């Protein structure tokens, strides 16, 4: 018998509204993870978003949304535990 457990860090996603003059890849929004912060705004600006405010991230496919995700990988950590039944 195997028991699998996973631990995942929960954080909120948000989007910055990208205004006129933003690059094409960030034409409408820039997605960030966590809270609205200077670092997240800077990451979006570095990707070409001229930040005009915050909003919920759109789910429609006709919007251009770039990402402020940092360069390091935020992978989930998993744990696997083997339980012996004693038989």
> pLDDT of 14-71, one tens digit each?
999 999 999 999 999 999 999 999 999 999 999 999 999 999 999 999 999 999 885 4
| Residue 87, in any domain of the structure | no
Please indicate, yes or no, if residue 26 is contained in any of the structural domains.
yes
Does the pTM of the predicted model rise above 0.85? no
Domain tally, the chain: 1
78, part of any domain:
yes
Q: Would 76 be classed as within a structural domain?
A: yes
74 belongs to a structural domain: yes
Q: Domain range spanning residue 71?
A: 2-82
Rg over CA atoms, the chain: 19
Outline where DSSP puts E strands in the chain.
2-7, 13-18, 29-33, 51-55, 65-67, 77-82
């Amino acid at each position: 018998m195997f028991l699998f457990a996973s631990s995942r860090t929960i954080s909120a996603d948000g989007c910055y509204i990208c205004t006129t003059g933003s690059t094409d890849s960030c034409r409408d929004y820039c997605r960030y993870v966590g809270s609205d912060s200077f670092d997240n705004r800077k990451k979006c600006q570095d990707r070409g978003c001229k930040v005009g405010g915050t909003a919920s991230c759109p789910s429609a496919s006709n919007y251009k949304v770039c990402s402020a995700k940092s360069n390091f990988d935020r992978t989930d950590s998993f744990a696997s535990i083997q339980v012996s039944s004693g038989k």
